Amino acid sequence: MAWWSPDPRGILDPRNLRVSRSLRRSINRFEVRVDTAFHQVVEACADPTRDRRWIDDRITTAYDNLHKLGWAHSIEAWDEDGLAGGLYGVSIGGLFAGESMFHWRTDASKVALYGLVKLLMRGGNKRFVDVQWCTPHLSRLGAREVPRSDYLDLLTELVDINEPDWSVGRIN
């Protein structure tokens, strides 16, 4: 199984999330939930028709197990037709290591990210989302690159911070 540790590393400080006018309008079209469809979110991210698919059965099983142990979580955007998009990752203290996101409806994954940021901000200001690579899409949302040494320094600060409340069920 491949393992990646990019240098520089992409991170998103929740305080720096850029919410565009169109995203602000989209937020009201979705209900954001936590951990109500974890397996479905991972399966949607693993869709074999997606470009550059990397999530296989081993990864799906591993994350399902991490979810059962309380380490992995999903943030989901729902509308009147059901699950519309979401993301999943691992939470350790003040760090949320995002693994993948998907959308079936426009802006649904961005609304899920907005929901994650709201949840993280409830627990205090010293938190961040590890987005691995700072893609142009994530850069427009406020992600930035940091050198590995800075990333590792941030990790040592974040792992001892209290976890956010993942039992909230619904964010908005």
Can you give the CATH number for the domain in which 110 is found?
A: 3.40.630.70
- In a domain? residue 81: yes
- In a domain? residue 3: no
**Total domains in the fold of the chain:** 1
Can you say whether the dihedral through the CA atoms of 137, 87, 98, 52 is positive or negative? Answer: negative
Does residue 50 carry a pLDDT above 80? no
How do residues 16-42 score in pLDDT, each as one tens digit? 999 999 999 999 999 999 999 999 999
- In a domain? residue 1: no
For the question of whether the overall pTM of this predicted structure is more than 0.95, the answer is no
How does DSSP assign 69-126, residue by residue? Answer: TTSEEEEEEEETTEEEEEEEEEEETTEEEEEEEEESSTTHHHHHHHHHHHHHHHT-SS
